[in-house]
Every structure is written in C-alpha cells, then in structure tokens.
Amino acid sequence: MSLAQLSIDKFNKKEAVIGILGMGYVGLPLALRYSHVGFRVLGIDIDKSKIEQLNNGKSYISHISDSNIICAINSGFRATDDFSLVAECDALILCVPTPLNKYREPDMQFVINTTECIVPYLRHGQIVSLESTTYPGTTEEELLPRLEKSGLSVGLELFLVYSPEREDPGNSEFETCCIPKIIGGCTPDCLKVGVALYQHAINKIIPVSSTRTAEMTKLLENIHRAVNIGLVNEMKIVADRMGVDIFEVVDAAATKPFGFTPYYPGPGLGGHCIPIDPFYLTWKAREYGLHTRFIELAGEVNRAMPEYVLNKLIEGLNNQGKALKGCQILVLGVSYKKNVDDMRESPSVKIMDLVRDKGGIVAYSDPHVPKFPRMREHYFDLQSVQLTVDNIRMFDAVVLATDHDCFNYEGIRENAQLIIDSRGKYREAEDNVIKA
C-alpha cells in the first residue's frame, strides 16, 4: 500500500495527530474544530504566554470561550513551543502571519522560519498544509524546496498542499466547519491526502487543480472586497461633497434584487487580509512585467481614509473655534471590525496615530480591548475609557471608528460635544454630528 493511502486511512480512522502551527485567530479555531470531531491535536506557537493560557484552559480571543478550550483539553489537546513534537504529528497545518514590510512587499519570514523549524522533525507519510494568505507560487517556490531538504520527496514520501484560511472572526453564522475549504496539492497524491485531512473537520471541500490556483483564489476573494470597499469609500467622499448620505444611497441600491452587492464605507480597511493581500499579488505581478493599476488604486483610496476622518475632525473642531492641538479626543472602538478584539491593521489605530501626531490628546473606549496591547508599529500606554456621562462630556470630540453593538449610541449623542461618525450610525442630521 502506498504512503498516500496509508495516510488517508489514518485520517479516515481518526488515528492521525493534527499539529497546528500558530495559535491565533485562524489556528486556534481550527484546533478546536479538529479536537471536537475526535482528533488528537497539538497546538504549536512561539508565544509562551499563549501556550500557558491555553494549557490552563484560558482563551485570549474574545469570541472563543474558556469552556471551548477546556473541552479541547479534556479531549487531548495541548499547546507547546517545542518543535521537536512535530515528529508526533501526521499533519502539520501552518497558520502563521504573512504581513507586509515597510515597503509594502510580502514579509515571508514567519512562513519561512516556521517551515525551517519543522524540517528536522519531518518523517515519511506526513502532510504539510499552508493556510496563510500569500502570493501564487509560494507553496512550490518557498515551501517545497525547503521541505525536501529533509531528504523526503514531496508527492511520494511527504505531502504538501495549500488550503487558504477563510476565517471571519466573530461571525457566528460562519464558523470554521461551515466555510467551504479550497485545497490545491503539489501532486495528485498530495491533493488526495489533503482532502482526507480536511474532510472530517470541514463540511464542504473544494479541490482545485494546483497550489497556485488555490493561492490565487484567496487573493481574488479579498481583492474583490478591497476594490469594492475602495469604490464605496470614494463614493462617500463624492456624496459628502454633494450633500448626499452615502449610507442611504447604498441601502437604496441594495433593494435591487440582482446585479448589486452592498458594500459600506468606513474609516479605512482593517484585519489581516483585506488591507494586505492585494499587495501580495501586485508584488508578484511585477515579476511578470505587469502593473496592477486597478488594485493599487483601490489600495490608495482605502489607505487615505483615516486621513479623511482626521480632516473631518479638524473641520468640526474649527467650527467650534478649537484647534486639534491640545484637544482631548476619544476614539470609539479600536478593533478593525465590530464585536471582536482583533486589532490587526485597524484604521482606528491609524486615526489615533494621526491625532497624536497633530498634537491632540488621544484616548479610546473599547470593551473588547481593555488595555491597549503592544503592536508591531503602534503603541499607546492607554486603557479603555468607560463611557459614563461625565467621561463623554469631558472630551472635545468623539470619533466613532468601530461600531460595536455594545455602545450606547443615544447616550453618546446626547452627551458628546462633537461626534465624528465614520460608520453611518447617526443618520438623522444632528448639530453635534459630522459624517465622515
């Protein structure tokens, strides 16, 4: 019997050990799902604090409960920073960050470093799956040659697939198991083993012809959103100049039963995928002598939105006879989307930076982020401000950046001196509200 069939049988019998590298917003939900369906799961991460919290049954992601972690532990899950335990695993799923560097080019250090860390412990019959969003060609150009340094041949003794994550943190309608899984293999046997790996944890599997196709699929999904959000953000600026409410326009257009998908404007793009992924393709396209003008233009529009919000804030303060310098500004919501604690690439944080750079005294309120964490590019020594009447009244302006459901919007409207609304929560004309 071939190694591929032996591996497939092991997954089908749920005798395989699943190793997931990266216990973040993608890796942890996937680990919990595999544990739930009866696999033994090993979570590997270099962050010792995450390891300690997980092994103590504690969650560090707001929409994942401690009880889910405890249930997984009772089913055999454990977390570790010991890469030698890779040898115990039958599947190795890489869920590590793929950010951009300061030149807005792909930063592959996490993928490459993780791959090189597992190579010494690889053995016959294992499958490696990369889930991190990346440019077409990464799996075959970066992972495959490094994995084969182990002496194992991909497709014969070791199996390699690309299967992009499609997580939407905090979206209870689409949990990990309910999101169809794209899988592309380096060889036909790689694909067969990949399907066997994922079919027990994910309800619907979508095999594609190659790893490059799978990589491009994920980029298209996120570029589609980035371009359409860029369009509606630009439309917002035009509509505002014309005295038209863009949110009312989008709602009205959405009544068309065909040919229109509603996208809503905001203060910019956040999250790990949409602000970043398009530039993975633009970077790779240059290798082929191509310039992705449409994608890059959308990126320019979206990156400019925090500055647009800042200008609306300055305008509103000027109308009250105030300069931004020395004013106290409260930013509502610092996560990139509502009802989660995920701050990756959050436009709220960029707005905070801009306010501080202009001399404003910035604070924030976000019950999902009680204390501002250390980030790679941003840091504020701040804790979340409680939204009491007195606290709201003390600020010269409140910038609504992330529209969490838990905010008391009526109370904020009644007590704030000035509101800069980037999310369309205040539709009616108000003396103290400026739409941004």
Q: Which residues are catalytic?
A: 273
Q: Is 330 helix (H, G, I), strand (E, B) or coil?
A: strand
Listed in sequence order, the residues at least 6 apart from 166 whose beta carbon sits closer than 8 Å to its beta carbon are 179, 180, 181, 182, 218, 221
Q: Which among 365, 361, 422 has a CA at the least distance from the CA of 391?
A: 365
C-alpha to C-alpha distance for 130 and 110, rounded to whole angstroms: 12
Listed in sequence order, the residues at least 6 apart from 122 whose beta carbon sits closer than 8 Å to its beta carbon are 86, 87, 128, 147, 150, 152, 158
Assess contact for 96 and 19: CB atoms under 8 A: no
What dihedral do alpha carbons 11, 98, 381, 348 form, nearest 10°? -100
What dihedral do alpha carbons 232, 238, 242, 245 form, nearest 10°? 20
C-alpha to C-alpha distance for 147 and 156, rounded to whole angstroms: 13
Distances (CA, A) of 365 to 56, 126, 344, 372, 419: 29, 47, 17, 10, 14
C-alpha to C-alpha distance for 72 and 33, rounded to whole angstroms: 9
C-alpha to C-alpha distance for 249 and 236, rounded to whole angstroms: 10
Assess contact for 181 and 204: CB atoms under 8 A: yes
Q: Give the DSSP H/E element, type plus range, for residue 308.
A: helix 305-319
Assess contact for 127 and 193: CB atoms under 8 A: yes
Amino acid letter at 306? P
Distances (CA, A) of 16 to 88, 184, 270: 9, 21, 36
Assess contact for 431 and 409: CB atoms under 8 A: no
Residue 335 tokens read as: 């996560």
